[in-house]
Amino acid sequence: MSTRRPVGVIGAGSFGSAIANLLAENQDVLLYERNKESADLIRRTRKIRNFELSDRIIVADSLAHIASDCFLLFPVVPSAFFKSMIIDFAPYLRPDHIMIHATKGLHCEFDIDKADAKNIRLKEIKTMSELILQETGIVRVGCLAGPNLALEIMERQPAATVIASRFDEVIAEGQAALRSERFQVYGNKDILGIELSGVLKNYVAIASGALNGLGYGENARALLITRGMAEMIYIGKALGADKRAFLGIAGIGDLIATCTSPKSRNYTVGYRIAKGEKLDDILRDIGEVAEGVRTLKIGKLIVDHLGASAPLLQTISKVLFEDLSMDRAIKLLMRYPVNDDAEYLDI
C-alpha cells in the first residue's frame, strides 16, 4: 500500500529531510514542517540546510492533509516535542494508519529538572511508541533506528537501518518504502530493545566526543565503546529489553557511528565540552536537539531510582551538570573495577 500512496514524514529537521529523500526514491512523499516560515522557505528553495529535496517531496499544508492522504507515517520529531505533536495529530489519525517513528529519545510525564529519583515512577517514562499507543487510535506502531547520520544519507552514501515492531506488516511496509540500492532495512520484533538502543547510545557518544576533545586516541575510544555497550545492555535489561537488540545494527552499529563521527550532534557536544565551552552555548550554536543531553538527565533518574550501577552515565552526567572536570572523570572511570570481559552476555 505504501508504494501506491504518498508516505507522510512529520518533521523537517536534518534526519526528517534525510528520511523524506530516501522515501522519495520509491514513492511520493508529503513532508510536514510546523513552522510556517520554515515551510514556506522549503517550498521556495526546495532545500533544507543546503541539501536539495527530491521532486517527489511535497511540503504538506497541515497534519490533517498528511493523515488524509497517507497510509504510512514517519514522525521524526525531537522527544521533547513528540507528545505535543502526537496530541495535535491524534484527531486526524485512524486505526488503519501505520506509524514508524524515528525519534531517539524518551518522554517523561514529569519535569526532569525538578524530579527526585526516589519518587519517580518508571511507568511515567515512556518510549515514543508507547506515547503513540497512549495518545492515538493507531495500533500498528514501529520504530526506526540504526547508524543513520543524516548528512551521510543526504550525500547518498550507503547505509542501513532497523525497523522494529510487533507486527510483521509494519516491518514489511517500512522495508518496501525505504529499501533501495543504497539503503538496507532490517527487521526486528523487539521494539523496546531497538528504541532503547537508539536512546542510550546518545550519552556514550557525548563521552566519545569528550575523549577526542581531550586528545585521547583509538585505544581509549575502543574501551569506551565496548564498556558503553555493556552499560547500555544493563540499563536496557533493567527496563525489560532483550540484550540481543543492543548487539546488532541499531545497537553496536549506531553506537560506533555516533561515537566516531564529528557529524554526530552528541559527539560534537562532548568534544566542545572537553574544549572548555559551556553546555548552553554549545546547544544554542548547534541549533538542533542533541538528544544525549536529555538522555543523560532521564537515564540518571532511572539508574538512581533502580539503585543500579552505570558509572559512565553517572560520571558524564556530573561533567555536564555538576562541573566535574573531564580529566577527573577519566581518572574515576579508569579506576572502576571490572572483573570479566563481556560478562553482559551472560545476563
Catalytic site positions: 201
183 beta partners:
159, 180
3 state SS for the chain: CCCCCCEEEECCCHHHHHHHHHHCCCCCEEEECCCHHHHHHHHHHCEECCEECCCCEEECCCHHHHHHHCCEEEECCCHHHHHHHHHHHHHHCCCCCEEEECCCCCEECCCCCCCCCCCCCHHHEECHHHHHHHHCCCCEEEEEECCCCHHHHHCCCCEEEEEECCCHHHHHHHHHHHCECCEEEEEECCHHHHHHHHHHHHHHHHHHHHHHHCCCCHHHHHHHHHHHHHHHHHHHHHCCCCHHHHHCHHHHHHHHHHHHCCCCHHHHHHHHHHCCCCHHHHHHHHCCCCHHHHHHHHHHHHHHHHCCCCHHHHHHHHHHHCCCCHHHHHHHHHCCCCCCCCHHHHC
Q: Name the CA radius of gyration of the chain, rounded.
A: 20
Instruction: Report the DSSP beta bridge partners of residue 142.
Output: 100
* Cross-strand partners of 52: 47
Q: Are 85 and 35 in contact, with CB atoms under 8 Å apart?
A: no
Amino acid at 245: A
| Cell numbers standing for residue 265 | 550532534
In SS3 terms, 217-235 reads as CHHHHHHHHHHHHHHHHHH
Contacts of 240 (CB under 8 A, 6+ apart): 192
Residue carrying C-alpha cell 503513540: 132
